[in-house]
Structure 1
Amino acid sequence: MTETIHKPLDWFGIARLGLVQSALGAVVALTTSTLNRVMVVEMATPAMLPAALVGLHFAVQITRPHWGYGSDLGSRRTPWIIGGMACLCLGALGATDAALMMATTPSLGIFISVLAYLMIGMGVGASGTSLLALLATRVAPDRRPAAASITWIMMILGIVISSIVVGKLIDPFSSQALAFAATWVAGCAFLITLAAVHGVELPVGAKLLADEPSTNEGPSVPFRQAVREIWAEPLARNFSIFVFVSMLAYSAQDLILEPFAGLVFHMTPSQSTQMSGIQNMAVLLGMILTGAIGGRAARSGKSWMAAWAIFGCLGSALALLGLAAAAEVGPGWPLMPTVFALGFANGVFAVSAIGSMMGLAGHGQKSRVGIRMGIWGAAQAIAFGVGGFFGAVGIDGLRAVLPETGHAFLVVFLIEGALFLVSAYLASRLGSSERPVNVNADEGESASSPLMGHASTLT
């Protein structure tokens, strides 16, 4: 019987899968940004509560390697994507209802919130990990880093659109308006996912035209053994550390920026939500420009990952210094330009990291793509949970002991800036090694890719 050879995804197919990432970003933005603001300001709950809930949804994502391992063993990844998105959307609707309950029945609202955010975490883990694994196996090797950048940019685009639309739907704010906005976001996200993944995955047993001859599927091994083998690779391990620290710095401001705008700059929910949209538009712009310039550098054989990651981390630290000054000065400070600068710098370092992640995951054994993505996704999720929670806890604790609310935000923003400086140092180490590391040892090849630069020589 003749084996059917299929072509890799073209750019249109990659963009289709990117729509799933847009849907993920839109739903998550609702639960981690808008609902966070509503609970802290409108419902007058301590910032620690929504931070703990968001931290819970990130903590659940420590199971990402399990989701990736399961999709590796299975014959198809699209059921994991669709099932995960359904779980995420239902969790988002439950979280919205629970947030509104807190004004009248706080105990019941908290209980339902816990269940809802558990569903959100499981949905993001199952859908997101399987999506990236599908991209890594369905996209030609020379397009993998660019495909990762495209899908990440589309996620930010989904967040931007969601923030702007939700901001308008809840102005003026009411419980009914928030419930309608949540239903609209969840419903659109699920329908978009169904349309995006339809017919994209290859039939069972089909071969991709661009598969590297050196790729060795290898026998299936138990989950723990697979994790140990991947963690033993210096490249995979050190890249995981960089992802964790940089995303810890990235996420520490995520849950406190909108409350900061409301408490210090006296913005309405609509204004602070739209400010979040401006920040994410800046992230999008930083990603697009960095991807375009970095792509040209990669084609000319120049290293760019470490340099752009350092630039992005240093720029983020400088922008956070500006936010610290804003916390001291108050409404007279140009907040929107400062937030825009923070978003742009965040986008610069994020696109270099995600491009390397996709490039690295697509090399080595195909039977490990899902679990490799799961490990790095878990590192990112844990960092987001820890950073967001301790940022909010820091605000609550400092507001209790400092005379001015702005002083509490000043201290936390300075600490976040210091974390970005540490991330810049780690990024410099990504490009400092001269000895190549072989992640495909059986074939004697290094894991280089067009957008990875010296990241492939990390020791």
Structure 2
Amino acid sequence: MSARAPSLLQLWTRLSSRYLPFADAASTELPLSRLMRLSLFQVSIGISVVLLNGTLNRVMIVELGVPSWLVATMVALPLVFAPLRVLIGFKSDHHRSVLGWRRVPYIWMGTLLQFGGLAIMPFALLLLSSGDAPGQVIAGRIGAALAFLLVGAGLHTTQTAGLSLATDIAPEHSRPRVVAFLYVMLMFGMMASALTFGGLLAEFSEMRLIQVIQGAAVTEMVLNVIALWKQEARDPSRTSAARERPRFGDSWRHFREAGGSLRVLVAVGLGTAGFTMQDILLEPYGAEILHLTVGETTALTALFAAGTLVGFGLSARRLGKGADPYRIAALGGLVGLFAFSCVIFSAPLESPNLFRLGAGLIGFSGGLFSVGMLLTA
């Protein structure tokens, strides 16, 4: 019996290293347990994305009767901070702090911004749904816009600093796998939160929606605190005010001189815009045209995230065999044409299943495109 025990243990070790997803992303500096805990900030990001782009997008248009142009503007407000991620990352690289932290202050501030935005949101929705006087409607719209803006600012700040912290901790040889693992956890957070929101809002009511938003705010705060706890070592010499720091323009010029292609960045921007434009219309489309419930339209985000994960896996497999990243991205564009066609033709065919297939394929094609183009970038 004692002679068999080592062989069974060795078999389990071989199986775990081969079949556990991203087991090779762990290292001595960043064990798998620590990496899993750090990845919780991506789960919280996934909760915010589903809540803003999915659940609230549909509810504000269909149930609350807010004009779609106004909802589209509010959903787009978080994207105002997307170009500022470069500056956020640069600032966190050269942050001055007597405590010796570079990433922790930005992750914490981003967490507070998300919590503050979600704390304001229920009161804004109450005014939007029950306010009859013009002053109440205007106050509700301003409050909702402020809430979306705060959540967007916190989302981008937290994610940028969190990814930077992960690359700080991980050794150079495992950084690509660590970043890939964190994005998989983002998709997992989107899938889990979409299914949870869909179940909680199956019987929709305004009070239930407010409770879901409040629960999401508390959950995100707890997840980010757990993710952040004892992750970054203090190093006052690295954050000393006496240390010389480069200017942002110098860093950008260094990126260009090192081979950074502006055309690739433009292609990434245009492709990302094309694949994310559906965020505004997909769930209201399913509600108003195909008469899907709040739970059913929220579940579309889970299909989207599942398709993205499949796209990630296929592109990683093909790239591991030496495939051209540009061809992977082009394949994503072609599949995207078919995916959006499924969404378009689901209305005249009155087919919710074709609509769901299109939502999943949009995520799949977006995954192929993003991996191919971002790897090139």
- If the length of structure 1 is used for normalisation, what is the TM-score? 0.68
Structure 1 CA distance for aligned equivalents of residues 271 and 153 of structure 2: 23
- Specify the alignment match of 2:62 in structure 1: 41
Structure 1 CA distance for aligned equivalents of residues 29 and 85 of structure 2: 26
- Specify the alignment match of 1:280 in structure 2: 305
Structure 2 CA distance for aligned equivalents of residues 200 and 125 of structure 1: 19
Quick check: 1:162–1:185 contact (8 Å CA) kept in 2? no
Specify whether residues 21 and 206 from structure 1 end up closer, same or farther in structure 2 by C-alpha distance, changes over 3 A only.
farther
Q: Deviation of residue 276 (structure 1)? A: 2.3
Quick check: 1:80–1:130 contact (8 Å CA) kept in 2? yes
1:378-436 deviation line (CA, Å, top 9, x unaligned): xxxxxxxxxxxxxxxxxxxxxxxxxxxxxxxxxxxxxxxxxxxxxxxxxxxxxxxxxxx
> Partner amino acid for 2:247?
P
Structure 1 CA distance for aligned equivalents of residues 318 and 30 of structure 2: 22
- Specify the alignment match of 2:113 in structure 1: 87
- Specify the alignment match of 2:21 in structure 1: none
Structure 1 CA distance for aligned equivalents of residues 367 and 137 of structure 2: 37
- Structure 1 residue corresponding to 2:84, chosen from 63, 68, 81: 63
- Aligned counterparts, 1:146-185, within 5 A: 146-185=177-216
Quick check: 2:40–2:226 contact (8 Å CA) kept in 1? no
Cα RMSD of the aligned pairs, angstroms, is 2.4
- Specify the alignment match of 2:168 in structure 1: 137
Say yes or no: does 1:343 pair with 2:336. no
Say yes or no: does 1:194 pair with 2:214. no
Q: Deviation of residue 183 (structure 1)? A: 1.4
Specify whether residues 134 and 149 from structure 1 end up closer, same or farther in structure 2 by C-alpha distance, changes over 3 A only.
same
- Aligned counterparts, 1:26-425, within 5 A: 26-74=47-95, 75-103=101-129, 104=131, 105-204=136-235, 220-231=245-256, 233-291=258-316, 293-294=317-318, 296-297=320-321, 302-331=322-351, 334-354=354-374, 356=375
Structure 2 CA distance for aligned equivalents of residues 31 and 341 of structure 1: 21
Q: Deviation of residue 332 (structure 1)? A: 6.7
Specify whether residues 50 and 316 from structure 1 end up closer, same or farther in structure 2 by C-alpha distance, changes over 3 A only.
same
> Partner amino acid for 2:82?
Q
> Partner amino acid for 1:165?
T
Structure 2 CA distance for aligned equivalents of residues 260 and 143 of structure 1: 42
Q: Deviation of residue 259 (structure 1)? A: 0.6
> Partner amino acid for 2:293?
T
Specify whether residues 97 and 304 from structure 1 end up closer, same or farther in structure 2 by C-alpha distance, changes over 3 A only.
farther
Quick check: 2:40–2:227 contact (8 Å CA) kept in 1? yes
Structure with more relative contact order (C-alpha pairs < 8 Å, separation 6 or more): 1
Residue segments in structure 1 that go unaligned for 5+ positions in a row: 1-5, 208-217, 357-454
Provide the identity percentage: 23
Deviates more, 1:68-77 or 1:29-38: 68-77
Q: Deviation of residue 236 (structure 1)? A: 4.6
> Partner amino acid for 2:173?
D
Q: Deviation of residue 304 (structure 1)? A: 4.2
Quick check: 1:8–1:138 contact (8 Å CA) kept in 2? yes
1:165-194 deviation line (CA, Å, top 9, x unaligned): 111112211111011111111211111111
1:46-72 deviation line (CA, Å, top 9, x unaligned): 211111012122113333233222211
Structure 1 CA distance for aligned equivalents of residues 162 and 225 of structure 2: 13
Structure 2 CA distance for aligned equivalents of residues 322 and 108 of structure 1: 39
Specify whether residues 178 and 203 from structure 1 end up closer, same or farther in structure 2 by C-alpha distance, changes over 3 A only.
same
Specify whether residues 65 and 296 from structure 1 end up closer, same or farther in structure 2 by C-alpha distance, changes over 3 A only.
closer
> Partner amino acid for 1:10?
P
Q: Deviation of residue 339 (structure 1)? A: 2.0
Structure 1 CA distance for aligned equivalents of residues 44 and 341 of structure 2: 32
Residue segments in structure 2 that go unaligned for 5+ positions in a row: 1-26, 96-100
Aligned length: 337
Specify whether residues 242 and 138 from structure 1 end up closer, same or farther in structure 2 by C-alpha distance, changes over 3 A only.
farther
Quick check: 1:31–1:95 contact (8 Å CA) kept in 2? no
Structure 1 CA distance for aligned equivalents of residues 82 and 315 of structure 2: 28
Q: SS where residue 99 of structure 1 aligns?
A: helix
Q: SS where residue 204 of structure 1 aligns?
A: coil
Q: Deviation of residue 161 (structure 1)? A: 0.9
Quick check: 2:190–2:301 contact (8 Å CA) kept in 1? no
Q: Deviation of residue 228 (structure 1)? A: 4.2
Structure 1 CA distance for aligned equivalents of residues 167 and 313 of structure 2: 20
Say yes or no: does 1:14 pair with 2:35. yes
Structure 2 CA distance for aligned equivalents of residues 219 and 313 of structure 1: 44
Quick check: 1:100–1:109 contact (8 Å CA) kept in 2? yes
Q: Deviation of residue 157 (structure 1)? A: 0.9
Q: Deviation of residue 35 (structure 1)? A: 0.8
Specify whether residues 206 and 141 from structure 1 end up closer, same or farther in structure 2 by C-alpha distance, changes over 3 A only.
farther
Specify whether residues 248 and 144 from structure 1 end up closer, same or farther in structure 2 by C-alpha distance, changes over 3 A only.
same
- Specify the alignment match of 1:435 in structure 2: none
Quick check: 1:99–1:113 contact (8 Å CA) kept in 2? yes
